[in-house]
Amino acid sequence: MDYSNNSTPTWCPGCGDFSVLRSIQTAAAHLAIAPHQMAVISGIGCSGRISGYLNVYGFHSIHGRALPVAQGIKLVNPELTVIAAGGDGDGFAIGTAHTVHAIRRNIDMTYVVMNNQIYGLTKGHTSPLSTTGFVTKSTPYGSIEAPIKPGMIALASGATFVAQGFSAYQEQLVEILTRAILHKGFSFVNVFSPCVTFNKTNTYQWFREHLVNLDEMNSHDPHDFQSAINRYISTDGLFTGILYENDDPDYYSKLPGERGTSVVHQDLDISNQFDTLMQDFI
């Protein structure tokens, strides 16, 4: 199946987002998801352009609001494979509240954060995930704030799937995204996706030297919550692989009675239901 709509991405040559785009396409192909059965919803930022480069349903939403839109789409049509995608500023600055609530709600969808630890689209400002001491135009003397730890927020919010990938490790990223899509619940995937133009600190080489691969650690058990927390702390969040996964029931499966029927399968002809609705007011 062809998931490319033949648009040419306007990302800078070498941007990590190319690999994320390719990895989503490859994961979808592995799972044989028909393009009309998939929707990619994005926020604002360089990463937000991703929804325009795929031959699937897409919506380029507003800053920090990809998740509400994506959740709404999944709720009315749970048969769609829904992926929300955005940058670290999108998900952990203006959109933080949506990130936390989407995670705890556990709707069956995947959220990909294309984390470059900087605001690229606005020409290189410090983001909530930039490291302490990070020098940009907005922090010329170095950031004095500690960065948010996205995986820890996900775990603390009750995530049922937490993983991290790296744009340069595409084979692993495809495997992670495939598992994330298959996971029955909300999958949080933080991808280290270097901004080659503005972030001269967290480069491909820097990540190669600092990232630990959980797949190579026999002692890591992704079904052990305490182990996941310990692993996050011991690596300072610099790892790739699946950190944590459980099979808690997703949002839809917990809806009671008729409300468990998706909107696209409900009879929306209100005239048929008028008498029933009015009984609430009698």
Residues that bind ligand SF4 (CB under 6 A): 11-12, 15, 17, 46, 116, 120-121, 195-198
Structure tokens at 20: 């994320």
How far is Cα 116 from Cα 121, in angstroms, rounded to an integer?
A: 11
Helix, strand, coil tally for the chain in percent (to 5): 40, 20, 40
- Pick 120 or 241: Cβ nearer ligand SF4: 120
- Pick 94 or 196: Cβ nearer ligand SF4: 196
How far is Cα 161 from Cα 208, in angstroms, rounded to an integer?
A: 24
How far is Cα 63 from Cα 68, in angstroms, rounded to an integer?
A: 11
What backbone torsions phi and psi does residue 69 show, to the nearest 5 degrees?
Answer: -65, -45
Cβ 91 to ligand SF4, closest distance in Å? Answer: 14
What backbone torsions phi and psi does residue 65 show, to the nearest 5 degrees?
Answer: -120, 15
- Pick 90 or 175: Cβ nearer ligand SF4: 90
- Pick 42 or 116: Cβ nearer ligand SF4: 116
- Pick 106 or 193: Cβ nearer ligand SF4: 193
Cβ 262 to ligand SF4, closest distance in Å? Answer: 36
For tokens 């500023």, name the residue.
89
Cβ 204 to ligand SF4, closest distance in Å? Answer: 11
- Pick 37 or 131: Cβ nearer ligand SF4: 131
Cβ 51 to ligand SF4, closest distance in Å? Answer: 15
Cβ 81 to ligand SF4, closest distance in Å? Answer: 25
* CA distance to 35, 74, 185, 266, per residue, from 248 (Å): 28, 18, 8, 26
Give the distance from CA 151 to its chain's centroid: 11
Cβ 10 to ligand SF4, closest distance in Å? Answer: 7
Buried b (16+ CB within 10 A) or exposed e, 89-116: bbbbbbbeebbbebbebbbbbbbbbbbb
Do the Cβ atoms of 41 and 84 come closer than 8 Å? yes
Cβ 35 to ligand SF4, closest distance in Å? Answer: 25
- Pick 143 or 199: Cβ nearer ligand SF4: 199
DSSP-derived letter for residue 261 is S
